[in-house]
Each structure stands twice: as structure tokens, then as C-alpha cells.
């Protein structure tokens, strides 16, 4: 459960940081794709994928985290997405979605 909370907090922080970056739309690239390795004490436990796209004053951000701990005994997947428009120097989200699934038993989300 601790890893689920930490991952949820990490995704929320990343989403907020991404939203702040969107305010500089003129300097923001049209597309960014990144893959991050998630490790605990040097042991890989998962990956985080990030994708952003900008078309004019519209943007879409997506994040996807996948974790597997204790040789697969605990698995967690989380996805978040946000889209909206950029007016002046501020992003205005139109949609936000967050979904997760933990070890095939527990799932949830927010839209």
C-alpha cells in the first residue's frame, strides 16, 4: 500500500510540474516522449512513460507508470492524462483522468 500511495503522489507531482511547464507554450516543443526507470535501493521495480503533444494552443499530457515488486507478487499500473488549451501564459485544462490497478484486485479512477 505504501508503494501505491508513493506512486500516486509521484504521478500527481509530475502532473502539476507538467502543467506549470505548459505555461510557456511558445518555447515548448511540439512533442516530448520519455521513459524513466523506477528503482528502489538500486533495484528496478518499474517504468514511467511520459508523452506530451502540443498543437497550436491545445495540449495533451499522458503519464503511464508500471510497477512490479517482490518478483511480481505486487503489481501496480497507473495512467493519468490531461488536455486543454493555453491562453497567454496559463494552461486551462478541459479534461483530467487518472486510473490505477493494483494486483488485479483493486482498481479505481478519477475523471
Tell me the per-residue pLDDT of 45-55, one tens digit each, with 9 for 90 and over: 999 999 989 88
- Cross-strand pairs, 92: 85
What is the mean predicted confidence (pLDDT) over 90-100?
Answer: 87
Contact 78, 7 (CB under 8 A): yes
Which position has the higher pLDDT, 70 or 110?
70
Q: What pTM was computed for the model?
A: 0.64
**CA–CA separation, 50 vs 62, rounded Å?**
6
**CA–CA separation, 14 vs 62, rounded Å?**
10
Tell me the per-residue pLDDT of 27-69, one tens digit each, with 9 for 90 and over: 666 888 999 999 988 989 999 999 989 888 898 999 999 999 8
Amino acid at each position: 500500500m505504501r508503494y501505491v500511495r508513493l506512486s500516486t503522489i509521484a504521478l500527481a507531482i509530475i502532473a502539476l510540474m507538467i502543467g506549470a511547464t505548459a505555461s510557456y507554450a511558445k518555447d515548448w516543443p511540439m512533442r516530448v516522449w520519455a521513459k524513466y526507470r523506477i528503482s528502489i535501493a538500486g533495484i528496478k521495480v518499474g517504468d514511467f512513460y511520459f508523452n506530451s503533444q502540443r498543437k497550436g494552443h491545445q495540449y495533451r499530457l499522458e503519464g503511464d507508470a508500471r510497477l512490479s515488486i517482490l518478483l511480481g507478487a505486487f503489481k501496480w499500473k497507473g495512467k493519468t492524462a490531461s488536455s486543454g488549451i493555453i491562453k497567454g501564459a496559463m494552461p486551462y485544462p478541459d479534461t483530467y483522468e487518472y486510473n490505477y490497478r493494483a494486483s488485479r484486485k483493486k482498481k479505481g479512477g478519477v475523471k
